[in-house]
């Protein structure tokens, strides 16, 4: 049954903005993005919203619904009461461009800081061989759709602009972990994880894992194993001695 849903949408730009209230018709089975589109079509043709696939796969429609980082296209209206006010705001950790569209370039800057996959010298594409268990390990991380909801929710940068320079955020620390765990990657990622990408800022609150729409166990499977490798490298006396001898 159709009903009139109450939407409260943030509208504005980098200089100022406000929450505005709307009543928008909702049909059975719809998601929040459907209502944002109907709002655009019927009342606010200049409302800015980023989206692409409407299938939870492009990572474009990230925003916050009632304060929780979510994909608008995967958030069913049926999880809210018909009388509930549904507040839709842009991701808070990034500067706003307009309305629901944030500037996520911080994420691309962090991506560029990570050296790419580095196979052993002389090994040509087509000659790569790895065990199935190693393929499966990185497969989980490669499900990432780069929605940046994990980046948005992590308290290290959510309200701390000053940490952005030294903290890559969960998505990119996960990328470092993926490469570090790759059996054919010969680059040394452990030191940089701590010193360049800011792994030490993460105090494993797991909020990133909770909001990941792909269900990637970012904290347990990427961040904690990386922390263990850093601890081994820096504080295990046997590993430390081995590194010293090996480096001579
Ligand atoms: Fe989005 Fe999950 Fe990738 Fe983070 S790890 S960017 S939450 S898909
Ligand atoms: Fe942030 Fe996730 Fe660590 S939310 S503190 S990166 S566990
Ligand atoms: Fe592609 Fe929502 S529109 S993930």
Question: 85-89 and 3-12: which strand pairing?
Answer: parallel
**Mean pLDDT, range 228-240, rounded to an integer:** 82
Measured CA distances, 117 to 6, 87, 97, 189, 246 (Å): 48, 41, 33, 11, 23
ipTM for the assembly: 0.99
> In angstroms, what CA-CA distances link 51 with 24, 150, 212?
19, 18, 17
Is the distance from CB of 102 to CB of 21 less than 8 angstroms? no
* Residue nearest (by alpha carbon) to ligand 2 atom 5: 202
Rounded to 5°, the CA angle 127-131-132 comes to: 120
204 lines ligand 2 (CB under 6 A): yes
Degrees, nearest 5: CA angle 125-182-184: 40
- Nearest ligand for residue 168 CA: 2
* Neighbouring-strand partners of residue 68: 65
Q: How far is the CA of 149 from the centre of ligand 1 (A)?
A: 6
pLDDT tens track for 104-160: 999 999 999 999 999 999 988 888 888 999 888 889 999 999 999 999 999 999 999
Q: Is the CB of 181 under 6 A from ligand 3?
A: no
- 111 Cβ neighbours under 8 A, 6+ residues apart: 172, 175
Which tens digits make up the pLDDT trace of 49-104? 999 999 999 999 999 999 999 999 999 999 999 999 999 999 999 999 999 999 99
CA 145 to ligand 1: nearest atom: 8
Atom 7 of ligand 1, nearest CA residue: 212
- From the CA of 158, how far away is ligand 3's center (Å)? 22
51, two tokens = 């989206």
Residue 214 phi/psi, 5-degree rounding, is -90, 0
Q: Whose CA is nearest to atom 3 of ligand 1?
A: 144
* Ligand 3 in reach of 60 Cβ (< 6 A): yes
Q: In angstroms, rounded to a whole number, what is the distance separating the alpha carbons of residues 242 and 248?
A: 10
How buried is residue 182: exposed, middle or buried, by Cβ count under 10 Å (0-12/13-18/19+)?
Answer: buried
* Sign of the alpha-carbon dihedral angle for 93, 52, 100, 213: negative
**How far does the centroid of ligand 2 lie from the alpha carbon of residue 154, in Å?**
5
Q: Which residues line ligand 1 (CB under 6 A)?
A: 144-150, 171, 174, 211-214, 216, 218
What is the pLDDT, as a whole number, of residue 209?
A: 98
How much of the chain exceeds pLDDT 70, in percent?
98
Mutation probe of ligand 3 site: the residue of 32, 49, 51 with most atoms within 8 A of C-beta: 51
Q: Which residues contact 166 (CB under 8 A, 6 or more apart)?
A: 198, 201
Half-sphere exposure of 164 (CA within 13 A, CB side): 18
Residue whose C-alpha is closest to residue 211's, from 166, 159, 160, 169: 169
Ligand nearest to the CA of 69: 1
CA angle 115, 120, 125 (to 5 degrees): 90
Among all bound ligands, the one having the nearest atom to the CA of 155 is 2
Which ligand places an atom closest to the C-alpha of 217? 1
């Amino acid at each position: 049954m159709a009903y009139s849903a109450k939407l409260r949408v943030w509208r504005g730009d980098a200089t100022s903005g406000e929450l505005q209230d709307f009543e928008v018709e909702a049909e059975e089975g719809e998601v929040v993005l459907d209502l944002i589109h109907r709002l655009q079509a019927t009342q606010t043709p200049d409302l800015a919203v980023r989206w692409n696939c409407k299938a939870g796969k492009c990572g474009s429609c990230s925003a916050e619904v009632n304060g929780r980082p979510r994909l608008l296209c995967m958030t069913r209206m049926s999880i809210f009461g018909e009388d509930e006010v549904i507040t839709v705001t842009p991701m808070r950790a990034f500067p706003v461009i307009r309305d629901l569209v944030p500037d996520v370039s911080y994420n691309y800057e962090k991506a560029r800081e990570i050296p790419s996959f580095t196979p052993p010298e002389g090994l040509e594409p087509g000659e790569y061989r790895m065990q199935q268990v190693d393929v499966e390990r990185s497969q989980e991380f490669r499900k990432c759709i780069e929605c940046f909801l994990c980046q948005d929710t992590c308290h290290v940068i959510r309200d701390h602009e000053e940490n952005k320079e030294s903290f890559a955020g969960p998505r990119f620390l996960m990328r470092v972990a993926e490469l570090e765990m790759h059996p054919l990657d010969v680059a040394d990622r452990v030191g940089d994880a701590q010193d360049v990408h800011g792994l030490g800022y993460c105090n494993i609150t797991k909020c990133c894992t909770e909001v990941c729409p792909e269900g990637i166990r970012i904290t347990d499977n990427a961040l904690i194993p990386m922390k263990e490798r850093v601890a081994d490298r820096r504080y295990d006396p046997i590993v430390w001695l081995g590194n010293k001898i090996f480096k001579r």
